[in-house]
Amino acid sequence: MPATWPLPTSEFMDFLPIAKVTSFPGRAVTTTEGADGSIIPHKRGARLWQGSITLDIEAHGFWTAIEAGLSVLEDPGASFLFRDPRMTGPIADPGKVILGAASPYISALSVNNRELTLAGLPQGYVLQRGDLLGFSYGANPTRYAYHRIFTGGTASLGGEITDIEVTPKIRPGAAIGASVTLGTPVLKAVLKSANYGASRSNISEGGSFEWVQTLR
């Protein structure tokens, strides 16, 4: 069967031998300098997550599968689901043992597009600065919201954390009731560039690629 987009993590991200990774939201601003020495920012497009992955040394027989994945993803329209391999769950619950079978969801959204309230959490559950959260929204195509927490909190007796501030800002389309993934969300990404590395005997190394989030 032909590949379908975006490739799930099991078809690409999960089997990469990763040596180094970066992941951050772009600034999406330009600046001009005023006559008084002030720096004036100008918004330019959306703040899209981006980064790079450097691949580790691996047997060439395994590496060929990675090369096939990179080649497919260089085709126009191709995309994949990116997850941060450094995170296995929220910082205070890396194995999601405390979260268990709980199903957190958005119960309120702030008009400032920076804050949201989560419900459906275990009492006393902790989310803190640096944690990741995500949810899907929209259709044709489905979009993947991906945020890092700046201001967290502790779940109340009713399993709610109010006014969680995230970065980047929450985009239009987020809806109350949407299910939320904590610690290990995914985003839809495309390749910006790819380096296939080099081989010696049965060992390959030096591969890397740059990626950027897409909302389409």
Domain ranges for the chain: 9-83+187-213, 105-182
Token readout for 66 is 């990675």
Q: Residue 143 forms beta bridges with which residues? A: 137
As a whole number of angstroms, the distance between CA 171 and CA 35 comes to: 34
List per-block mean pLDDT (blocks of 10 residues) for the chain, which spans 216 residues: 90 94 83 65 78 92 89 96 97 98 98 97 98 95 97 98 97 96 98 89 88 94
User: What's the confidence (pLDDT) of residue 97?
Assistant: 98
Task: State the residue for tokens 């399993």.
Answer: 159
User: What's the confidence (pLDDT) of residue 63?
Assistant: 83
CATH number of this structure's domain 9-83+187-213: 3.30.200
